[in-house]
Homo-oligomer: A and B are copies of this chain.
């Protein structure tokens, strides 16, 4: 069992995407406990807040506090979502490691979501890039700027988005200074063949800056789409514990791909996520306590790990400990 397992990054986005899609506001103390539980399960990438006006999204009013808590873990990569320059400045002040800006490829969705056309959003994105670069002089670690391309796989407001539009906006985002291009299935309309096609399309203009998929499970295809992403070289995926999530401006959209189910699939395929799926399932208790009555989704939490899967994990662990004994 000496094979090196290929690493896949799973970013828990439930604290941002999940919580901003439900009507209730999770008290800050529970957000802290969620971050603690996710960290304890091995999650090292979390999108924990967004910097948007508190009157629009009261769920995110405690962004500074939540980020400060997350930054207490020295090896946790902390991401915030920001829709504009002011948000980016606040995120920089808060000390996040990664900033993701939503750039919708659908004009209708972009106007509904950030009140800007995609072209105006690209300009705002370029301004964020400048703000980050100006701030970087006084920081030890460069903040990464992610272009979160939204409604890439379809838009409930506009319908299909032409491939040429997607490629043009991805190219513009790269030119405007994106470190990373993430493809978002905001409305849960992505299908396997399309995911492969659009990854190849965007890779032509974005090269290896295309790194991440943000999938929703509206039509049960999120894991099949993830599989296609893996087959096309993607190694970073957003997910929400218990499938919490959605988009308030995309009617009919439902939660992100479920973190537990995603980690189980990745584990089963031999990828290394660093996440202990059993502890992840246990961490759902924080959500159940904080949001009583809120539906918690997920197959693995109900069915449990298969017998041979648990056995295989133990085999890996015991072969690792034997290896350690030999080394010691």
Contacts and interface: CB of A to CB of B under 8 A. Distances in A.
Contacts of A141: none
Interface stretch (A66-74, A76-84, A305-313): A305-313
A58 interface: no
A220 B226 CA distance: 13
A92 B65 CA distance: 71
A220 B308 contact: no
Interface stretch (A8-16, A115-123, A260-268): A260-268
Contact of A218 (B154, B265, B303): B303
Given A194-B268, A265-B192, A220 B311 contact: no
A187 interface: yes
A254 interface: yes
A94 interface: no
Contacts of A220: 220, 223, 258, 261, 298-300
Nearest to A306: B189
A53 interface: no
A194 B268 CA distance: 8
A193 interface: yes
Contacts of A188: 303
A156 interface: yes
A160 interface: yes
Contact of A306 (B219, B223, B227, B264): B219
**Chain A interface residue count: which class?**
35 or more
Contacts of A223: 220-221, 223-224
A296 to B, nearest CB: 14
A265 B311 CA distance: 33
A159 interface: yes
A178 to B, nearest CB: 26
Given A192-B265, A252-B303, A159 B219 contact: no
Interface string A132-173: 000000000000000000000011100110000000000000
A270 interface: yes
Given A188-B303, A223-B223, 7 more contacts: A192-B227, A220-B223, A220-B298, A221-B223, A224-B226, A227-B227, A252-B303
